[in-house]
Structure 1
Amino acid sequence: MTSADPATAGVTATLPSLTARHPRVPAARLLAELVPPRHFAHESFDTYQPDPEHPAQQRALDRLREVAEELARPARGGGAWWRRRAAASVPAVYLDGGFGVGKTHLLASLAHAVGLQRTTYGTFVELTHLVGALGFAATVDALGERRLLCIDEFELDDPGDTVMMSRLLRELTDRGVAIAATSNTLPGSLGEGRFAAEDFLREIQALADRFEVLRIDGEDHRHRTVTTHAATLDADDVRAVVAARDDATLDDFDTLLGHLADVHPSRYGALLDGIDLVGLTGVHRVARQDVALRLVVLVDRLYDRDVPVALAGEATSDAAAGADLFTDEMLAGGYRKKYYRALSRLGALAAEGAELAAASR
């Protein structure tokens, strides 16, 4: 690991930084934060507009309304036999579709319809981190108190995590918790297509018979391509825009990556408390996969919280632009979906950061 950029040493000593933060997050907060992301905080079934040219969208909407109504009914009492029978019939739906057809919108709408006090909502990665922070048994007990578990961006790239998640779903459905899941997808321009329902059902084989697949066809309503080139700035511009704000942080890239290794990923959200702009200098290609995966998690938390990022490359203004942030081997390997998602999200956040820097000049 290289040392901090000497040009930023004096500034980083006087400006707030993420590396100075060591959040301690109680279990209650970890659970309370498992809600739909800010982008979908106010979405509902009524705000979802099905495309009449793709009737599957209306069918999925209608079915999820039915699921919400079913979960709104009070749970019946009774003995162990009745509880086992009720658990066997608990709804479990999988939203299968391409990028930009509204799967996350529908999932968040279902969570709002059932009620956030009765729903746990998180990405696959957030839930695996929750298990890591609380332990498996404690996670089952905590989530088992809810009526619904929503899993956005279900992933199959880590066999161990997939087995653990399959076991978690089995334990929760046995307790009568309904499940709704979407797949992790990327824009078709990457050639990734759709995360196939067949793959999902095969990997959760013990639960496959319980899941109802709702296929959602349609075009990408956002009509955007993946942004893999982040807008990079001069280091002085990054320092200036951070210094002009009281809700911003400035960090050397390598120093921050080292700090992330000492903070549990479940606390990366808390690391960003009160921060509305993150400045990074000395950004360069990440060579180690463990480091890169931690960076992906941080980018996801930045994106969930709509926090712009102002980036300065290590040597030239475009040294760390786009796909150069990860190695070719990473972008072709088993975690490529994570990396391309991070590049797309970081590109969008860096564009916002560049606009803020330009406005502050």
Structure 2
Amino acid sequence: MTPPPDAQPATAAGPEARTLAQGPLPALRARIAAGDIIADPAQIHAAEMLQDLWRRTRGYDPKVEPPETGGFLGRFFRRKPVDEAPVDAPLGLYLVGEVGRGKSMLMDLFFASADVARKQRIHFHQFMQQAHQRIHAWKKQHGDTADPIPPLADSIVAEAALLCFDEFQVHDIADAMILGRLFEALFARGAVIVATSNTEPDNLFKGKPGRDAFLPFIQLIKKRIEVLVLDSARDYRRDRIRGLPTWHVPPDGRAERALDAAFAEMTGDVPAEPCKLTLLGRAVEVPQAARGVARFDFNDICGKPLGPADYLAVATHFHTVVLDGIPRLGPDNFDKARRFITLIDALYEHRVKLVASAEDYPDRLYERGENAAMFERTASRLVEMQSQDYLALPHLT
């Protein structure tokens, strides 16, 4: 799987760059010494565990059979099975904690310093989208009775023996159905997996239909990946957003620059990429996404025939939404207003943080005409979503 641009962390500079060759822990200490971040005992402990994994993976290069032919199809259509996990395959690490605790920053340091020839960092949702695309290509070529999992695992490990997943979450039944066999095959081929998540393994896919069949995957994760809870008391994401205005009027060039800056601040300047949220055969297009932050133009998300399930998918996949160009609302564009109300309900109920530009302040967006009273609750929620108390709330997935 070719990593997207946002799969690569920003290039380190200064003392950190000089220490990356020594592993993530010295790089973190250099960042602390430079005054870039405050020393956090929970982060230091996590960096110590990542440092141990860094040592165990130095030069790690599990052998894979060369493709029979070049290119994507050659990698994907190899079929040689591997039945047992290599004895010397290092255990991975599953770093779990609430939003804003520094998980992505630690993953940056580990990935940048990892001495593994074949490595990839990718958002887990995007990884699964690519997996489904490859499975579809395999079945189209070989029919529905052919098993796509072994060649899929072959191709993934041929490209990356170290897989670093951001935002490990399972919301889609289609993902849940293949994860157990896919990960078993990846581990059998020597893959090492490092993941960040807001959800402990035992709570993955909790409360969803079909979860009983998903439980063996949870046990596999706990067997092949060490789990560390990043129990930091400080929400660094909240610190970043606390100093940022979250509602900009009017939606002019100044507001656009402010939203650009907010998006960069919330994502750590990681380049954004478009993505799709797929649910029940439908796809919600996200124009820009990185590190749990999504950015939409108002018409991208409220000018299309989307419904509550689509907005729920956005609210559960992203802890922050940046929204450009909310217009004045009223009877003339009530379809858009109704979708906007549904969107805000979903974001509010899942404690998603909102940074937006608009034609006016919330209580003046929909002042007159039929259904103006309906908007009063939405206006109240939009005001509350700008409060420090709301910004301090954890994201609910």
Task: Give 1:105 shift.
Answer: 1.2
Confirm or deny that 1:199 pairs with 2:213.
Answer: no
Matches within 5 A, 1:20-35: 31-33=2-4
Residue aligned with 1:151, SS: strand
The residue number in structure 2 matching 1:70 is 56
Task: Give 1:321 shift.
Answer: 12
Bigger relative CO (Cα 8 Å, ≥ 6 apart): 1
Corresponding letter in the other structure for 1:292: Y
RMSD: 5.2
Q: Is the 8 A contact 2:307 2:339 kept in 1?
A: no
Matches within 5 A, 1:43-192: 45=24, 46-47=27-28, 49=32, 54=41, 56-75=42-61, 84=84, 86=86, 89-114=89-114, 118-135=118-135, 137=149, 139-145=152-158, 146-184=160-198
Residues 290-349 of structure 1: CA deviation (Å, up to 9, x unaligned): 54367679989x98xxxx7531236169x96998352646865xxx4xxx5xx42xx34x
Residues 233-269 of structure 1: CA deviation (Å, up to 9, x unaligned): 568x58x989xxxxxxxxxxxxxxxx999x9969967
Residue aligned with 1:213, SS: strand
Q: Is the 8 A contact 1:51 1:57 kept in 2?
A: no
Matches within 5 A, 1:327-338: 328=345, 336=350
Q: Flag the 1:52–1:282 CA change in 2: closer, same or farther, 3 A.
A: closer
Confirm or deny that 1:212 pairs with 2:226.
Answer: yes
Q: Flag the 1:76–1:222 CA change in 2: closer, same or farther, 3 A.
A: closer
Matches within 5 A, 1:305-344: 310-313=324-327, 315=329, 324=341, 326=343, 328=345, 336=350, 340=351, 343-344=352-353
Residues 129-158 of structure 1: CA deviation (Å, up to 9, x unaligned): 111222254542332111211111111333
Percent of residue pairs bearing the same amino acid type: 18
Q: TM-score, normalised by structure 1?
A: 0.56
Hey, which of these two has a bigger chunk of helix by percent? 1
Q: Flag the 1:282–1:156 CA change in 2: closer, same or farther, 3 A.
A: closer
Q: Equivalents in 2 of 1:109, 1:62: separation in Å?
A: 12
Q: Is the 8 A contact 1:265 1:294 kept in 2?
A: no
Task: Give 1:110 shift.
Answer: 1.8
Residues 167-197 of structure 1: CA deviation (Å, up to 9, x unaligned): 322211110010111113xxxxxxxxxx234
Task: Give 1:222 shift.
Answer: 3.7
Residue aligned with 1:90, SS: coil
Unaligned runs of 5+ in 1: 1-29, 185-194, 243-258, 272-276, 355-361
Corresponding letter in the other structure for 1:198: D
The residue number in structure 2 matching 1:247 is none
Task: Give 1:75 shift.
Answer: 3.6
Unaligned runs of 5+ in 2: 66-79, 136-147, 205-213, 258-275, 290-294, 361-397
Corresponding letter in the other structure for 1:143: I
Corresponding letter in the other structure for 2:4: E
Q: Is the 8 A contact 1:232 1:312 kept in 2?
A: no
Structure 1 counterpart of 2:311, from 292, 298, 311: 292
Q: Equivalents in 2 of 1:215, 1:157: separation in Å?
A: 21
Q: Equivalents in 2 of 1:266, 1:117: separation in Å?
A: 35
Residue aligned with 2:165, SS: strand
Residue aligned with 1:100, SS: coil
Task: Give 1:164 shift.
Answer: 2.4
Q: Flag the 1:51–1:353 CA change in 2: closer, same or farther, 3 A.
A: farther
Residues 86-140 of structure 1: CA deviation (Å, up to 9, x unaligned): 2574322111223322111112222212268622212221112111222254542
Q: Equivalents in 1 of 2:84, 2:307: separation in Å?
A: 47
Aligned pair count reads 271
Task: Give 1:70 shift.
Answer: 2.0
Task: Give 1:224 shift.
Answer: 3.8
Q: Flag the 1:157–1:282 CA change in 2: closer, same or farther, 3 A.
A: closer
Corresponding letter in the other structure for 2:124: F
Q: Flag the 1:260–1:117 CA change in 2: closer, same or farther, 3 A.
A: same
Q: Flag the 1:283–1:92 CA change in 2: closer, same or farther, 3 A.
A: closer
Q: Is the 8 A contact 1:96 1:216 kept in 2?
A: yes
Corresponding letter in the other structure for 2:120: T
Q: Equivalents in 2 of 1:353, 1:298: separation in Å?
A: 27
